[in-house]
Amino acid sequence: MATFIGYSTINQYKKFTLTDGELVKRDLLNAFNIRQGTLPGRPDYGSTLLDYVFENQDITTEQATIAEIQRIAGGDPRVYLSDINYYPQQNGVLIELQVQIVPGTTAEQLSIFFDQETRRASYV
């Protein structure tokens, strides 16, 4: 089995190394928080999800949000997305993802809230 190793200082105090599942989840959340086109040299990296948070929450916005999540998750070969649930909230959107980290056999439920006020995505 492959071991993924990376570093993050977000909510870390002494140990900055992340491995395997924790690293993949952090990378996925980073991809959701980075605005598309802002990473130098990689204009396709990032998302437009926070633009959809301010739109009317109808079926068209839901379909566009789900398509964007599938595009972002499809860009990471370590992630297999099996289910997406979409819940509009009063001050944002709650997305529940059923994610399997490749190579692995167990699926994990991730709840991500896209907040209108902070304009950030975070795990719930």
The distance of Cα 117 from the centroid of its chain, to the nearest Å, equals 18
DSSP code of residue 7:
E
- Which pLDDT band, with edges at 50, 70 and 90, does 17 fall under? low
Which residue ranges form the domains of the chain, and what is each CATH number? 5-123 (3.10.450.40)
| Average pLDDT value for the chain | 83
Contact 16, 7 (CB under 8 A): yes
Contact 22, 38 (CB under 8 A): no
pLDDT single digits (tens) 44-94:
888 998 888 888 889 999 999 999 999 999 988 888 999 999 999 888 899
Per-residue exposure over 23-55, b if at least 16 CB sit within 10 Å of its own CB, e if not: bbbbbbbebbbbebeeeeeeeebbbebbebbee
Q: Taking residues 92-105, what's their average pLDDT? A: 86
In the predicted model, is pLDDT for residue 19 greater than 60? no
Residue 72: what pLDDT? Answer: 92
In the predicted model, is pLDDT for residue 18 greater than 70? no
Residue 42: what pLDDT? Answer: 85
Residue 54: what pLDDT? Answer: 85
Give the integer Cα–Cα distance in Å for 28 and 26. 5
Q: Is the pTM of this model over 0.85?
A: no
